[in-house]
Amino acid sequence: MIKVAIAKEKLEELKHIARRVRRHIIEMTAEAGSGHPGGSLSCTDILVTLYFHVMKVDPKNPDWPDRDRFVLSKGHAAPALYAVLAEKGYFPVEELKTLRKIDSILQGHPDMKKTPGVDMTTGSLGQGLSVANGMAIAGKLDGKDYRVYALLGDGELEEGQVWEAAMAAAHYKLDNLTAFVDHNGLQIDGPITQVMSPEIIQEKFKAFGWHVIDVDGHDFEGIIQAIEEAKTTKGRPTVIVAQTVKGKGVPFMENQVDWHGKAPSREQAEEALKLLV
């Protein structure tokens, strides 16, 4: 495996952006009075790495045909995506306050027709990887070198369509596609292994013909190295199984299933923001 050199400053910068994104997630969901902070906080570092280090995108030209694509298959992590897009400059940070409100460009789940920078409408679990496949196939057909990234929840892997898509991505040798699994171990009703175990996730993807990489989903350097490995893996798609902590960064939310789909109160938000400095 090739190791790419990453400047210390870059890693520091990503860390700072991730902290701002986490603060946005807390503020947005508190202001909205609903939303999914737990799974937004768990995938924040992956999204920040993608948008601020890896992906070829242009916030001034969100529909640029040659851009890299990102599909947030676990659409309920929309607050994380919106915060990252705002930080990247797709729309003003002030818009984040309007999350889930009437007439907002920021719907409860991602809507490509309303939000600049959102490449696909998602929210109903299990559908995003198929769409990413379609984007990857289109790229190959057109001889374009853009890459397609998709992020799935670990609970989401219980959806049958994910495995239809996994089969197809390997069948069509979509090496321009990289999927992430945000492996935080929790879903609404409890630990994934108790509700309906999708384990062993790595073995399943391997059996479907994918290249599998394990990574700590909060280690920027590890995430970057994994993506670089995916880029150089030819003839098959890569899945990066990222071990993450649900609610990461806010100690009272960490690994607590209750924070899957509950917004913090004003007081809880203040408390969380104090911890995110």
Asked if 201 contacts 241 with a C-beta cutoff of 8 angstroms, the reply is yes
Among positions 101, 171, 206, 266, the unique one binding another protein when judged by CB under 8 A: 171
**What is the per-residue binding string for another protein in 36-75, x denoting contact by CB under 8 A?**
-----------------------------x---x-x----
State whether residue 88 is helix, strand or coil: helix
Among positions 29, 49, 115, 133, the unique one binding another protein when judged by CB under 8 A: 133
Q: Which residues pair with 150 in a beta bridge?
A: 71, 179
Closer by beta carbon to another protein, 154 or else 159: 159
Asked if 249 contacts 264 with a C-beta cutoff of 8 angstroms, the reply is no
Please enumerate, as own/partner, the contacts of 6-10 that have beta carbons within 8 Å and a separation of 24 or more.
6/220, 6/221, 6/224, 10/53
Among positions 139, 155, 217, 237, the unique one binding another protein when judged by CB under 8 A: 139
Establish if 135 lies at the interface with another protein (CB under 8 A): yes
CA pair distance 163, 253, nearest whole angstrom: 31
DSSP tag of 175: T
Within 86-125, the residues that bind another protein by CB under 8 A are 111-113, 119-121, 123-124
Give the number of residues in contact with another protein, rule: CB under 8 A.
35
Interacting residues toward another protein by CB under 8 A: 65, 69, 71, 111-113, 119-121, 123-124, 126-139, 141-142, 160-161, 164-165, 167-168, 171-172
